[in-house]
Amino acid sequence: MKKWLLTLCMVLALAACKEEKKEETQANADNKPVIKIGAVLPLTGDNSVVGTAVKFGALAAIEDKAKGNLKYHYEAVFEDNQQQPAKTATATNKLIMMDKANMVLSFTTGIGRVVAPLAENAKILHMCSTLEDENATPMGKTSFFQGPTLQTYRQLVFKALQQEKVSKLALLAANVGVACSGTEKLAEALKAKGMETKVECFNPSDLDFRFVIQKYQAQGFNHFYIQFWPPQSNILLRQLSENNVTPNHIFGSGIDVDTDTSLYNGIHCFGGNSGTPEFINRLMEEYHINNVYMAASAYDLISLAIDAFENVEDVNNIDEILAYIKAYATRKCLSGDCKLLNNGFIANKAEWRTYKDGKPVFLGD
Amino acid sequence: MEYLINLAILFGIYSMLALSLNMLIGMGGLVSLAQAAFYGIGAYATAIGMTSLGFGFFTTIILGIIINAVIAFVVGKILARFQGDYYAIVSAGLSIIVFSILQNWKSVTHGPLGIFGIGKPEIGSYAFYSNTAFLGLVAVFTVALYVLYQWINKSSFGRVLKALREDEKLTQSMGYKTKHYKSVIFVLSAALSGIAGAFFASYIAFIDPSSFQLKEGIFLFTIIIVGGLSSALGSIVGALILISLPEVLRFIGLPYETAAQLQQMIYGAMLLLMMIFKPQGLFGKYRM
């Protein structure tokens, strides 16, 4: 028993001693100094479908940048956090203190808020691929969050609803992260524009929405706006179909992330940065992933970080890195221009698309 | 070294939780899955107290203890009517109710958006900003809880609890009001887990309801099963193993494509093996 405990303590101690001395960089096989890009993502658990997409978006960016003539060799280190704050803290500390990561990539506003102060204390860059909370950034002086802003999103959804002549809309959202609060704000904005709206938020474990669908149908609501991730979104789509809600009466935010894209035929899908058609195809073919929104943001953020590391004199000088990033007002992102707002939020455009025979069809932005 | 300090802080927080839960399950034989709820209430008392009400960290600890004690007193009266599996199911219900409140009472808890910017403890002009100082404070409270556990364990109150655990009817026949004892240990255990919640909120600086779900209660239950029921040392060792094992697995050099999934499988397999070869836990004095 004592031996067992002693072994555990020794393994931990050895792990702690590993690379204790901070080395500026390491050398790789090409004799280029190494820059480590750490990422804390939900690679297992409920949100792994999205976390995996972010992971591959980051890898695609490193792969593409490596085709050019770079000063450094970029190496990704991924750690699983299962989207839990405590696991995020330990994983981030491991990346910062043990792996000596030069930057950390995270995903979603809540997790970004755990990572931001840790990155700030360590004086390293932190970038977060998120949904639509532009108020998140003041949390960290070394952090940048990217996503479409709430306002951009609302305008696009309203444009789509107007075009489809929707006057009554039932909005259903998962009570997770910014999904529910964002949907409530969207409903308020639509109400202010004269639309009749009803909002209902569900716990992450809820899987039966039939009663709610029928309740709203009885009240004359035939159009539905939904903001969920799989598996809830897929179940909800099936239950809407069972209740004779036609696909063109369904408006979904970030729902089209399943590899079975035939699920989304005819549905109005909204999302953030979805990338070029080549990027979408590449994710599908190389990585078998359709969750382009988060993957594209991760791609943009890692590309930006690599540009910063390549262009500063000292990669360990966070002020230089921040100055480089803050110097641009508009930057070319995967699907158009991204704007850097005053608070450090990188706003990318929102997109509206549908699917025909499983293929995405762009409808507007 | 700094990484180990961070791990040690979490280990200390989970040790406090395990000690408070082992008082209830190990000493009293009352299988509760509600510990995550009280842990969450303690964390939210600190988060709301420090960010919205302007209270100091130590004031919010007392606030969390009081709120937990009041809730546990009321709920404990109901729970005291149940035994065995029924006690566990009702306590799981409490955990789900508290999670739903944290998730949906948005004007107070900010719902799933959580509360961020939670400060560090301060005593006079001294602030526990550094992780080493914070660890010192966590260690003081963990040792205090350890001593309290041992003191209760050896007290006449603790002996009655153990008798209740072995045979409630027999204990009643000896003139003890077992419902009263069950209520008291439930209130004490809930109040103490609030302290761990306060430290967690301050350490992570951000909390949302996802950290206080029923599965967290099951994780705490696993800690004391692995460490051993009715053993203070078991609670500490259980927390050490379950907090450090996933971290150790991060270093074993698995291929990055499947590392996260393989780590989960190895972690699960090690727990399975441990239960096969040490079903009473490492330092268990009582087997369920």
Question: In this structure, are residues A37 and A76 in contact, taking their beta carbons and an 8 Å threshold?
Answer: yes
List of chain A residues whose C-beta atoms are within 8 Å of the C-beta of residue B10: 86, 89-90
Question: In this structure, are residues A252 and A225 in contact, taking their beta carbons and an 8 Å threshold?
Answer: yes
Calculate the average pLDDT of chain B: 90
Residue of B208, B212, B242 for testing the chain A interface, max A β-carbons within 10 Å:
B208
CATH 3.40.50.2300 intervals, chain A: 27-148+277-347, 150-271
| Predicted pLDDT of residue A23 | 43
Contact B206 A180 (CB under 8 A): no
What is the mean pLDDT of the segment spanning B259-277? 83
List of chain B residues whose C-beta atoms are within 8 Å of the C-beta of residue A80: 259-260, 263-264
Contact A43 B114 (CB under 8 A): no
Residue of A20, A92, A98 for testing the chain B interface, max B β-carbons within 10 Å:
A98
Chain B interface residues (partner A, CB cutoff 8 A):
1-4, 6-7, 10, 100, 103-104, 106, 111-114, 116-117, 200, 203-208, 210-211, 237, 240-241, 244-248, 250-251, 256, 259-261, 263-264, 282
CATH number of A27-148+277-347: 3.40.50.2300
Question: In this structure, are residues A85 and B208 in contact, taking their beta carbons and an 8 Å threshold?
Answer: yes
| Predicted pLDDT of residue B271 | 83
Contact B6 A86 (CB under 8 A): no
User: Which residues, 6 or more positions from A283, have their beta carbon under 8 angstroms from its beta carbon?
Assistant: A53, A56, A57, A60, A275, A289, A290, A291, A292, A295
B48 half-sphere exposure, CB direction, 13 A CA radius: 18
User: Across the A/B interface, how many CB contacts are shorter than 8 Å?
Assistant: 112
Pick the CATH number of A150-271 from 3.40.1160.10, 3.40.50.300, 3.40.50.2300, 3.40.50.720: 3.40.50.2300
pLDDT digits (tens, 9 = 90+) for B68-115: 999 999 998 888 888 888 989 999 999 999 999 998 898 899 888 889
What is the mean pLDDT of the segment spanning A151-170? 89
pLDDT category, A177, cuts 50, 70, 90?
confident
Please determine, for residue B199, whether its predicted confidence score (pLDDT) is greater than 90.
Answer: yes
| Predicted pLDDT of residue A132 | 57
CA distance B5 to B16: 17
Dihedral-angle region of residue A146 (phi above 0 means left; psi in -120 to 50 means alpha; beta otherwise): beta
Question: In this structure, are residues A72 and A309 in contact, taking their beta carbons and an 8 Å threshold?
Answer: yes
Of B2, B113, B204, the CB nearest to A85: B204
Please determine, for residue A18, whether its predicted confidence score (pLDDT) is greater than 50.
Answer: no
Please determine, for residue A253, whether its predicted confidence score (pLDDT) is greater than 80.
Answer: yes
pLDDT digits (tens, 9 = 90+) for B231-245: 999 999 999 988 888
φ, ψ (nearest 5 deg) of residue A93: -60, -40
Å between A97 CA and nearest CA of chain B: 6
Please determine, for residue A273, whether its predicted confidence score (pLDDT) is greater than 80.
Answer: no
Contact A93 B3 (CB under 8 A): yes
Of B3, B6, B282, the CB nearest to A1: B282
- Pairwise pLDDT comparison (A212 vs B271), residue with the higher score: A212
Beta strand ranges found along chain A (DSSP E): 34-41, 73-80, 103-107, 125-129, 143-147, 168-174, 196-202, 223-227, 250-253, 268-271, 330-333, 336-340, 345-347, 351-356, 359-364
| Predicted pLDDT of residue A73 | 94
| Predicted pLDDT of residue A25 | 46
What is the mean pLDDT of the segment spanning A227-241? 88
Residue of A5, A6, A9, A12 for testing the chain B interface, max B β-carbons within 10 Å:
A12
Contact A78 B7 (CB under 8 A): no
pLDDT digits (tens, 9 = 90+) for A332-351: 888 788 888 877 788 888 88
| Predicted pLDDT of residue A17 | 47
CA distance B228 to B148: 18
CA distance B263 to B255: 11
Tell me which chain B residue has its CA closest to the CA of residue A117: B205
What is the mean pLDDT of the segment spanning A2-6? 56
Q: Which 3 state secondary structure label does DSSP give A167?
A: coil
A45-49, A95-99, A328-332: least confidently modelled range: A45-49
List of chain B residues whose C-beta atoms are within 8 Å of the C-beta of residue A109: 113
CA distance A310 to A287: 27
Kindly state whether A123 is in contact with chain B, defined as any CB-CB distance less than 8 angstroms.
Answer: no
| Predicted pLDDT of residue A365 | 79
- Pairwise pLDDT comparison (A202 vs A8), residue with the higher score: A202
Please determine, for residue B250, whether its predicted confidence score (pLDDT) is greater than 90.
Answer: no
pLDDT digits (tens, 9 = 90+) for B148-191: 999 999 999 999 999 988 888 899 898 888 889 999 999 999 99
Question: In this structure, are residues A273 and A334 in contact, taking their beta carbons and an 8 Å threshold?
Answer: yes
Calculate the average pLDDT of chain A: 84
Å between B115 CA and nearest CA of chain A: 9
Kindly state whether A79 is in contact with chain B, defined as any CB-CB distance less than 8 angstroms.
Answer: yes
Place of tokens 């149908």: A217
List of chain B residues whose C-beta atoms are within 8 Å of the C-beta of residue A178: 112-113
| Predicted pLDDT of residue A131 | 66
List of chain A residues whose C-beta atoms are within 8 Å of the C-beta of residue B208: 85, 110
| Predicted pLDDT of residue A134 | 54
